[in-house]
Amino acid sequence: MNAPLLQVENLTMRFGGLIAINDLSLTARQNEITGIIGPNGAGKTTFFNCVTGFYKPTEGRLTLTPPDGGTWPLQAMQGFRIAKKARVARTFQNIRLFPGMTVLENLLVAQHNRLMAASAFSIAGLFGLKSYRKAEAEAVEKSRQWLARIGLEKSADLPAGSLPYGAQRRLEIARAMCTDPVLLCLDEPAAGLNPKESLELNDLLLDIRQTSKIGLLLIEHDMSVVMKISDHVVVLDYGARIAAGTPEQVRHDPNVIRAYLGADEDEPLPAVVAKDLGEQ
């Protein structure tokens, strides 16, 4: 078993009277893909927003322990610091690229903090010093490698907003990866993709896990993605965890079936749903 990367303990998030997340505990591990599934409104995106600092959790602790040492109490950190210091990157359900900037520029913005330091907060950059030029060339090279990986090298100088939908999804993942994260949170990366693109996405995510050795958190509705590539699946319903385990375990969990269908336990699973859950 891999070492724990993100430990969530008793996380609760309330909006006024609404409890979006209720006493949630889970562990995401290095070098593993942790899938988070659940019906609409189960609190999946809210959970992501707590992890990445867009919301401040009402209660509970989120502890990140990167492999290279240190511990980060995410619940007490500002959003941009979580990305900068604790190195948690994310993508968004509705793609949030910088549409007017080029594909390459999008990837360079992701390397902002390193480049900023290299430009000595713009001073070295303003005078075009060699140290900065070298850092920029490295950043461009890194971007080029990522573009090659997602097959967008040719489109590097086009505005990101002009790319087709699937390419924008891939670019957003590449952009998140350019921040050198230890944990990558993907919010429905397969939404809106066609089956072929979905398969390519699977390969890309498995490849990222393989080569970058980072932890991935994955929210997904597309069961063919979740069940195929997740090492571990957590099921949420009404903000609480109702099941966890390997995809195989979760698939047969009666609680999960009930949450998705509202069906009685002893009723047989309709064929359509069984297929959706990835059963043969």
Partner 1 sequence: MNYFLQQLINGVTLGAIYGLIAIGYTMVYGIIGMINFAHGDIMMIGAFISLIAFLVIAALGVTSVPLALVLVLVCALFFTSAYGWAVERVAYRRLRGSFKLAPLISAIGMSIVLQNGVQLVQGARVKPLAPVITGGIELSGAESSYPVTLGWLQIVIILLTVALMAGFTWLIQRTSLGRAQRATEQDMGMAMLLGINVDRVISMTFVIGAALAGVAGLMVTLYYGVVDFYIGFNAGMKAFTAAVLGGIGSLPGAMLGGLLIGLIEALWSGYGSIEYKDVAVFAVLILVLMFRPSGLLGKPEVEKV
Partner 2 sequence: MAAFKDAILAGLVAALLALPMLGFHLGDSAQGLQLETHLELVPLAAAIVFAGRLALNLAAPWLAKWKDRAPAGKPKLETGVSRRPLYIGIAMAAAALILPLTPWGDRNILDKATLVLIYVMLGWGLNIVVGLAGLLVLGYAAFYAVGAYAFAILSQMGFSFWQCLPISGAVAALFGLLVGFPVLRLRGDYLAIVTLGFGEIIRVILLNWASFTGGPNGISSIPRPSFFGMPMTASSPGHTTFHEFFDIPFSPVQRIVLLYYVILLLALVTNLVSLRIRRLPVGRAWDALREDEIACRSLGINPTSTKLSAFALGTAFAGFAGCFFATRQGFISPESFSFIESAVILAIVVLGGMGSQTGVVLAAILLVGLPEWFRDLAQYRMIAFGGAMVLIMLWRPKGLLAGRTPTIRLNKGDAA
Residue 125's CB is within 10 A of a number of other CB atoms, namely 18
Q: Using the rule CB under 8 A, is 45 a contact of partner 1?
A: yes
Count residues binding partner 2 (CB under 8 A). Answer: 48
What is the nearest approach in angstroms of partner 1 to the Cβ of residue 185? Answer: 11
Beta strand pairing call for 33-37 and 72-73: unpaired
- 7, 92, 144, 156: residue in contact with partner 1 (rule CB under 8 A): 92
Q: Residue 264 contacts by C-beta under 8 Å, 6 or more apart in sequence?
A: 258
Token couple for 165: 């939908």
d(CA 204, CA 218): 13
Distance of CA 140 to the CA centre of its chain: 23
Site for partner 2 in 102-131 (CB under 8 A): 102, 104-105, 108-113, 115-116, 119, 121-122, 125-126, 128
Q: Using the rule CB under 8 A, is 149 a contact of partner 2?
A: no
What is the nearest approach in angstroms of partner 2 to the Cβ of residue 51? Answer: 11
Q: Give, as one character, the DSSP assignment of residue 270.
A: P
C-beta closer to partner 2: residue 100 or 270: 100
Stretch that binds partner 2, among 39-47, 69-77, 154-162, 260-268 (CB under 8 A): 154-162
The helices-and-strands tally (H runs, E runs) of the chain is: 12, 10
Residue from 12, 19, 27, 21 nearest 236 by CA: 21
Provide the terminal-to-terminal Cα distance of the chain, rounded to the nearest Å: 28
Beta strand pairing call for 33-37 and 232-237: parallel
Which of partner 2, partner 1, none interacts with 49 (beta carbon under 5 to 8 A by kind)?
A: partner 1
Q: Residue 154 contacts by C-beta under 8 Å, 6 or more apart in sequence?
A: none
d(CA 215, CA 29): 6
What is the nearest approach in angstroms of partner 2 to the Cβ of residue 259? Answer: 29
Q: Using the rule CB under 8 A, is 56 a contact of partner 2?
A: no
Stretch that binds partner 2, among 37-45, 56-64, 91-99, 247-255 (CB under 8 A): 91-99
Instruction: Spell 155-190 as b/e; 16+ CB within 10 A means b.
Output: bbeebbeebeebbbbbbbbbbbbbbebbbbbbbbbb
Q: Using the rule CB under 8 A, is 50 a contact of partner 2?
A: no
Q: Using the rule CB under 8 A, is 208 a contact of partner 2?
A: no
What is the nearest approach in angstroms of partner 2 to the Cβ of residue 157? Answer: 5
C-beta closer to partner 2: residue 115 or 274: 115
Q: Using the rule CB under 8 A, is 81 a contact of partner 2?
A: yes
Site for partner 2 in 173-202 (CB under 8 A): 175-176, 179
Residues that bind partner 2 (CB under 8 A): 52-54, 79-81, 83-85, 89-90, 92, 96-102, 104-105, 108-113, 115-116, 119, 121-122, 125-126, 128, 140, 143-144, 147, 153-154, 156-159, 175-176, 179
